[in-house]
Amino acid sequence: MTVVPAQTTSGLIAAPRAATPGTAFPAGFAWGAATAAYQIEGGVAEGGRTPSIWDVFSHTPGKVVNGDTGDIAVDHFHRFRDDVRMMADLGLTSYRFSLSWPRIQPTGRGPAVERGLDFYRALTDELLSHGITPVATLYHWDLPQHLEDLGGWTVRDTSYRFADYAALAAEALGDRIGTWTTLNEPWCSAFLGYASGVHAPGRTSPADALKAAHHLNLGHGLAVGVLRSALPASAQIAVSLNLHQIRPLTGDASDAEAARRIDAVGNRVFTDPILRGSYPADLLADTAHLVDWDALIRPEDLAEISRPIDLLGINYYTPTVVSSSENAEPAPRSEVHGASEHSPWPGADDVVFHLAPGEVTAMGWPIDATGLTDLLLDVHRAHPGLPMLVTENGAAFDDAVGPDGTVDDADRVAYLHDHIGAVARAIEAGADVRGYYLWSLMDNFEWAYGYEKRFGAVHVDYETLARTPKASARWYSEVIRRGGLA
């Protein structure tokens, strides 16, 4: 049997070709790992970088477990060459990372800082020299604090600031980065950042969260426009959404109604304007008492927001089980959405969340790979012809470090095996999935959980910052080498 090496060419995610023999995955499928700037870089005061909302939030007592911050993180800013070598040793064909807005454009306006761009030039050169396709995310949650002080995502001007920053990044890096995603998980930015307050900037206003959602959508669309003009015609533009795979608890009509409401404010608030050019009427009705949508949405906005994209990035960890308030006992909110008494679901805050049955990860998130197959097929049916990337999937576990520093994370191997299998099933059923990015390359700053939760395939010793591939990293290398599961 000939095994076709899974390699991408020319800095782009490949269009599907014949399946690698013995697997469902097309040759050229991108096998990657993902990270985000604030979670790994450190170097927060270097090269003119100014604080982002996450610097300020993490330095605010009580916001992050153990008072952890990203000041040093895993020092990727200084160790990126070794980290890229490690990726090459693992056989990754692609790497998804994010650009730090305050490193490139510290106050969120004005010219780019060359020293910030130089870091990403050097990183991408290093990736390309090892044959690893870079996928850059423009915004993985680190808004310059200067812009938050002016209103953050609740004000329209931030969308325009984001587009200007996108233009600076594309002009400087477009010669070496072929695949771009605008936003990572705007649901978290809007609803965890501005409604439940468990993420930066930590605000707790349902109305502000809805305004933020619209301005994130607008920022995305404006950025797609400037990326199209600044980048070569071959460039691929995407957005990464944490679409919720929603399951009503029972067959009751009231649970179906709960699922509809969460789908509106969890999924369609982004997918409808971006992919269909309109906001869902039911979302506007559910939230009409909170925000004046007519004043918020200008007539030209939806045409901007729905500029065509080339790929949809999907981040999946666990299914979302919901019921109406009449049905069953809820799971404690802290297990589902972090420790806040403020709901991240404007217009649907009476919906009750449950944990799907079965084993959970160290985050308390139920493990259910069927949710990933279902999600990819739902998107495939709702938006036929739209190529997808799984831009994040993975699991935190309480890894036990052996005396020699090795980590035998059989639980993570099992999780990854089941979820990569779930992607294979979606492909077999017709979904056009072009890549899989494991979250995360290495242990890192897990937002409000600080360094307590480890998602890495590579272990990081936070005293020495030494990196040691876990058993899951070695297992993933084999998957990549074979081009799929055995």
Binding site for ligand FCB (CB under 6 A): 36, 39, 184-185, 188, 242, 315, 392, 439, 446-447, 455
Q: Which is nearer to ligand FCB, 274 or 297 (CB)?
A: 274
Whole-angstrom Cα Rg for the chain? 21
Q: Which is nearer to ligand FCB, 31 or 449 (CB)?
A: 449
Q: Which is nearer to ligand FCB, 50 or 98 (CB)?
A: 98
Residues 6 or more apart in contact with residue 294 via CB below 8 angstroms: none
Run of H or E including 312: strand 311-315
From residue 103, alpha-carbon distances to 42, 127, 143 in Å are 11, 20, 11
Catalytic residue numbers read: 185, 392
The closest of 344, 317, 253, 342 to 446, measured between CA atoms, is 317
* Residue recorded with tokens 């998107």: 379
388 dihedral zone (left: phi>0; alpha: psi -120 to 50; beta):
beta
Q: To the nearest whole angstrom, how small is the minimum distance from the Cβ of residue 457 to ligand FCB? A: 13
Residue 332 structure tokens:
């404690």
CA-CA-CA-CA torsion for 395, 12, 99, 309, nearest 10 degrees?
-90
Where are the alpha helices (H) located in 140-199, listed in sequence order?
145-149, 157-173, 186-187, 193-194
Under 8 Å between Cβ of 77 and 103: no
Under 8 Å between Cβ of 365 and 304: no
Q: To the nearest whole angstrom, how small is the minimum distance from the Cβ of residue 392 to ligand FCB? A: 6
28 dihedral zone (left: phi>0; alpha: psi -120 to 50; beta):
left
Q: Tell me the pairing of strands 352-354 and 320-323.
A: antiparallel
Q: To the nearest whole angstrom, how small is the minimum distance from the Cβ of residue 239 to ligand FCB? A: 13
Under 8 Å between Cβ of 113 and 150: no
Q: To the nearest whole angstrom, how small is the minimum distance from the Cβ of residue 428 to ligand FCB? A: 27
Q: Which is nearer to ligand FCB, 39 or 373 (CB)?
A: 39
Q: To the nearest whole angstrom, how small is the minimum distance from the Cβ of residue 459 to ligand FCB? A: 16
Beta bridge partners of 392: 315
Q: Which is nearer to ligand FCB, 64 or 167 (CB)?
A: 64
The SS3 call for residue 322 is strand
Q: Running DSSP on this structure, what letter comes out for residue 385? A: T
The SS3 call for residue 127 is helix
Under 8 Å between Cβ of 147 and 163: no
DSSP states along 440-475: -SB----GGGTTSS---SEEE-TTT--EEE-HHHHH
Q: Which is nearer to ligand FCB, 260 or 459 (CB)?
A: 459
Residues 6 or more apart in contact with residue 147 via CB below 8 angstroms: 107, 108, 158, 161
Q: To the nearest whole angstrom, how small is the minimum distance from the Cβ of residue 418 to ligand FCB? A: 17
Q: To the nearest whole angstrom, how small is the minimum distance from the Cβ of residue 184 to ligand FCB? A: 5
Q: Which is nearer to ligand FCB, 286 or 392 (CB)?
A: 392
Q: Which is nearer to ligand FCB, 279 or 447 (CB)?
A: 447
Q: To the nearest whole angstrom, how small is the minimum distance from the Cβ of residue 64 to ligand FCB? A: 13
- Farthest-apart Cα atoms in the chain, separation: 63
